[in-house]
Amino acid sequence: MNIIEGGVCAAKGFLANGIHCGIRKNKEKKDLALIYSKAKANAASVYTTNKVKGAPLTVTKNNISDGYAQAVICNSGNANTCNANGIEIAEKMCELLASELKIDKSDVVVASTGVIGQPLDITPIRDGIGALVNGLSSENSKLAAEGIMTTDTRLKELSLSFEIGGKECKIGGIAKGSGMIHPNMATMLVFITTDCNISTAMLQKALSTDIQNTFNMVSVDGDTSTNDMVTILANGMAGNEEITSEGEDFDKFMKALNTLTVYLCRKIAGDGEGATKLLECEVDGAKDEENAKIIAKSVICSSLVKSAMFGSDANWGRVLCAIGYSGAQVDVNKVFVSFKSEKGEISVCENGAGVDFSEEKAKEILLQDEITIKIVLGDGNARATAWGCDLTYDYVKINGDYRT
């Protein structure tokens, strides 16, 4: 498996583009993105479990109920959520794009991200569709990635090549996500493309399985968005024998997908609103995987832990506290905790009690941009990893006037 250039355009037959059409006031920021497959693709998606859902999710779920899609259109700046005409607007976006691309409107995945509860005017989208389609290129993955960003400060994109049945396959993805991230099914907006030949059923199985240990293990602020969706399109143009069941080929595809999604998880967590550090919590020695996940997410979601990491303070008691209230089955008298970064690793807790350690060394370790909180439980052999970020003053500044 190799990292390659191209993002969502790395796989054969995929084109992309991103433009500013006028939804956002800042003309320097793109607000409309498009991904297009030259051939109809098998499609799979997972969605937020928030009962308040953006209209585009309802339309997309209906459109790809037959297992196919050929294009993805996404606007930023307005979530098209809690609007009386939201479904109408989302369907109109599909109609406009389908007419321009000369495809069926039911083969369009539609997504929106931005402010909730503000009407979305179709006019700038309608006026921009022509330029969006005319600019489609195999070189424009980055433009599409920019078009889906809201409070993101960094573009999130990766592509890989791998081999199945003697054929080179490629997979790529773009993501947006900076705040309102605390998933329970999917998270943020993530669009993945591949030319691997894999059936819709196995594509859905791969995605639904993978997110349990990747996107479901990311939290920035404890809020589950209304518009979260992860979608993958597989057009089969790599020419490998179709994957229709579990086995060696499916395992290879799963490995490639997981490599991509873990990378995007880390990028999303590290770019949390106002964040200065990526936090990774590794839990080992749990009774079972479920308990390991509960503990990892509890620690990564703790406002006190996040604040301590912002201040580079080795306040390990807050980690123990988060473990204790997590609801997981754990013997707190067996817990070991250490902090790790590129500057080294330091043990701060053994058998549930503090140990002598150098505050200076701990500070040096915690001043880095990427911090790992390592927890060993001694209750079994299960493990899990969760990703998050520190909690800074800027998070409040960003969200204090997000709408206005």
Active site residues: 187
Using CB atoms within 10 A of its CB, is residue 143 exposed (0-12), middle (13-18) or buried (19+)? buried
Tokens of 13: 């037959």
Q: Where are the alpha helices (DSSP H) in 29-78?
A: 55-63
Strands 189-194 and 167-176 turn out to be: antiparallel
Residues with Cβ within 8 Å of residue 284, at least 6 apart in sequence: 292, 374, 375, 376, 377, 383
Tokens of 90: 């989302």
User: Which residue reads 């911090």 in tokens?
Assistant: 371
- Are the CB atoms for 238 and 169 separated by under 8 Å? yes
- Are the CB atoms for 169 and 196 separated by under 8 Å? yes
User: What is the distance between the alpha carbons of residues 176 and 18, in angstroms, rounded to a whole number?
Assistant: 14
User: What is the distance between the alpha carbons of residues 54 and 93, in angstroms, rounded to a whole number?
Assistant: 14
DSSP lists the bridge partners of residue 229 as 47, 189
Residue 177 DSSP one-character state: -
- Are the CB atoms for 236 and 39 separated by under 8 Å? yes
